[in-house]
Amino acid sequence: MEVGHTAVLLLELGAVVFGLGLLGSLAGRIGLSPIPLYLLAGLAFGTGGLLPLDAPEGFFSAGAEVGVVLLLLVLGLEYTAGDLVENLRRQAPVGVADLLLNGLPGAALALFLGWGPTAALALFGVTAISSSGIISKLLTDLGRLGNRETPAVLGVLVIEDLAMAAYLPVLTGVVAASSTGDAVLSVTVALATLAVVLAVAVRHGSTVTRFVGTRSNEILLLRVLGLALLVAGAAEAVHVSAAVGAFLLGIALSGEVAERIGDVLSPLRDLFAAVFFVFFGLSTDPTQLPAALLPAAALAAVGIVTKFGTGWIAGRRAGVGPPARVRAGAALVARGEFSIIIAGLVLGSVPAAFGSTVAAYVLILAVLGPLAPRLVDPWVRRLARRAGPPRPSGRAPTTA
């Protein structure tokens, strides 16, 4: 008996989603982020993989777009506009050092390999931005939320998130432009739109919150999800990036409503985020991974060193000692969802080797990121013993 197309589609999608659940459970047991396992699943099921699927690419493509919107919307809910402005004032020097230290090696590699300026701009962001999701979970799992270096780490992540809001419109405008003049115009329009939307979020966020607020979680979910997709679509239309539109909407929402939205959206975000990572794997040719391993590993090695540099600078500015600065650097190593979001924006506009290099790079650092704090613990203990107990002085001592 011939099985119908709809039956095959449902069987394949069901197998993929159920398999992702198993991979997520496995990742939790071994203490890793599920992101690298989702990427590997996409590589296995895509063209050239071990078990290519016939499921329509449009389903995964649309699901991936929704995944990006939900990832950035939920991230925006964690901040208020006032928090971002205050962190920008306080942490700007660390943020600039962080972006330059970690972004320039990526841009330099893209230019060295002859991938062009668009790939260089994209790889700058891929290597500069740490994974807020992996790092936040890591700090919680290790019980380090109360450590003295943790505010410095979170401050770096906030600055990176804010930088993403300005960086993504620039990247989207460059990708959409057909000439230098078009690129300048697109970037100008995108940044102007970003400034207007951010000003609305700062001044009228409470109005937006009242507009979507309701006692019913079901209606709240429908309102916020619908509004997020509308804002994301409008942002995409003016080359601001759907992700930034969703992020700014999250910032505009505040108070008890924002907390409830985070709770009701989390399961949906996790589902579509998994689809997003699988889609990126499906879009990457696994036969190109072996050739990409060497540049990806070199870039990862440099990225580990530069994130330790960021942690040292941020920790020093926060007034903590060398052991805590090392812990801060180790916590910042992981790359993940943001790197994939950035790479996904330029696929089709850059050489195919770009996608496979980013996939290998994220696989390496999404695995090493959760391990780094544990691996540096012996070094941290030696530094703490060498420093000895703080000496009394007329001012507050610097501690680990």
Q: Is residue 71 in a domain?
A: no
CATH code (residue 175): 1.20.1530.20
Contact indicator for 66, 344 with CB cutoff of 8 Å: no
Task: Provide the mean pLDDT of the chain.
Answer: 82
d(CA 400, CA 398) in angstroms, rounded, equals 7
- Residue 189: inside a domain: yes
Residue 227 falls inside a structural domain: no
Give a yes or no: residue 57 inside a domain: no
For 86, the domain range is 13-51+78-213+265-344+354-381
Q: Cβ distance 211 to 230 under 8 Å?
A: no
Is pLDDT above 50 for 96? yes
Phi-psi region of 49 (alpha: psi -120 to 50; beta: other; left: phi over 0): beta
User: Does the structure show a pLDDT above 70 at 65?
Assistant: yes
Domain assignment present for residue 195? The answer is yes
Split into its structural domains, the chain has a count of 1
Residue 132 within any structural domain of the chain: yes
Is 258 a domain residue?
Answer: no
pTM equals: 0.81
Torsion of CA 125, 126, 129, 135, to 10 degrees: 170
The better pLDDT of the pair 233, 3 is held by 233
pLDDT of res. 400? 47
Residue 324 lies in a domain: yes
Higher-scoring residue by pLDDT: 240, 334: 334
- Per-residue model confidence (pLDDT) at position 292: 92
